[in-house]
Amino acid sequence: MTTMDDVTVWPFTGLRVVQGDLELRYLSDDLLHELAAVAARGVHAPDRMPFTVPWTRGTPEEVGRSVLTYQWGVRSRTSPERWSIELAVLRDGIPQGVQGLSATDFAVTRDVTTGSWLGLEFQGKGTGTRMRALALHLAFEGFGAQVARTDAFADNPASNAVTRKMGYAPDGIVTLAREGQPAVSQRYRLERADWEQRGAACGLDRSGIELHGVGPVRRFLAID
C-alpha cells in the first residue's frame, strides 16, 4: 500500500509564516472551527460593513457557518490556475482571524491579491499591520510575486490605514453594491520594487520573518 503524508497530498498543510509571537498557519479544520467561533463573536460594529458579501450579518451560528462553508468552498476550488490560500492568524498561539492570498494564473502573471479579517476583540493592536506584512513577505519572497493588490471600502479606515502603511499606490476607485446601496471601494497596487525599498522607511519590522513549507506549495502552483 502506498502511504502519502499530508504535505504530499495537500501541500498547503505545511505552510507557515512566523515572526516572533505572530504566525500565519494553514487553516486546518480544527483552526477553522475556532475561527468560526471568533467571527461569531463579531468582526465589526453592526453599523459597518467592510465586505462586499455581507457574511458577518445574521445570528452567531449563521456567521460561524458562513466561515466554515466559505472556507470549505475555497479549498475545493483550489487549482494551480486559480487559488486562494487562506491562513489562520495566531498571536501568542491564539487564533484571531484569517489572512488570505489569492491569484489567477499566478505562474504567468505573478499578481496576487490579499484580504483579511480579525475578530473585533483582537483589532487595534497592530496585528492587522503585521499580518499583512507577513502575507506580503510570503507573496514576494516566498512565491516571487511582482505585484500585490488589495482594496477596501472608503469607509473602512483601519484597512485603508494598514494598506497605506505598506506603501501601496492608489489604483483607482470602483462603486460596488453593498447591502443594496452604492459604496466606493478604493483599489491599491504594490509593486515588488516598492515593497523591497519600503522596509525601514515606513517603520515596519520585517526582521526575523520565517517561511516554512513554501517549496511544496510552489511546486503545486507551478511556480518552479
Ligand X SMILES: CC(C)(COP(=O)(O)OP(=O)(O)OC[C@H]1O[C@@H](n2cnc3c(N)ncnc32)[C@H](O)[C@@H]1OP(=O)(O)O)[C@@H](O)C(=O)NCCC(=O)NCCS
Asked if residue 50 binds ligand X (CB under 6 A), the reply is yes
66-94 b/e (C-beta count within 10 Å ≥ 16 → b): bbeebbeebbeebeeeebbbbbbbbbeee
Measured distance CA(218)–CA(110) in Å, rounded:
12
CB of 98 to ligand X, least distance (A): 9
Site string for ligand X, 5-44 (x = CB under 6 A): --------------------------------------xx
List phi, psi (to 5°) of 55: -70, -10
User: What is the spatial distance between Cα 26 and Cα 215, in angstroms, rounded to a whole number?
Assistant: 14
Helix or strand or coil: residue 64?
Answer: helix
207 sits in which H/E element:
none
Residue 127 interacts with ligand X (CB under 6 A): yes or no: yes
Shortest reach from residue 59's CB to ligand X, in Å: 19
Query: Which x/- pattern, by CB under 6 A, does the window 76-115 give for ligand X?
Result: ---------------------x------------------
In sequence order, the β-bridge partners of residue 46 are none
Kindly determine how many residues on this chain lie close enough to bind ligand X according to the rule CB under 6 A: 22
Stretch that binds ligand X, among 21-29, 122-130, 168-176, 202-210 (CB under 6 A): 122-130
Q: Which is nearer to ligand X, 117 or 168 (CB)?
A: 117
| Phi and psi at residue 168, to the nearest 5° | -65, 155
The minimum distance between CB 166 and ligand X, in angstroms, equals 11
Question: Within positions 185 to 224, which residues make up the interface with ligand X, using CB under 6 A?
Answer: none
- Angle value at C-alpha 71, between 205 and 57, nearest 5 degrees: 90
Residues that bind ligand X in the complex, under the rule CB under 6 A: 43-44, 50, 97, 116-118, 123-129, 152, 156-159, 161-162, 165
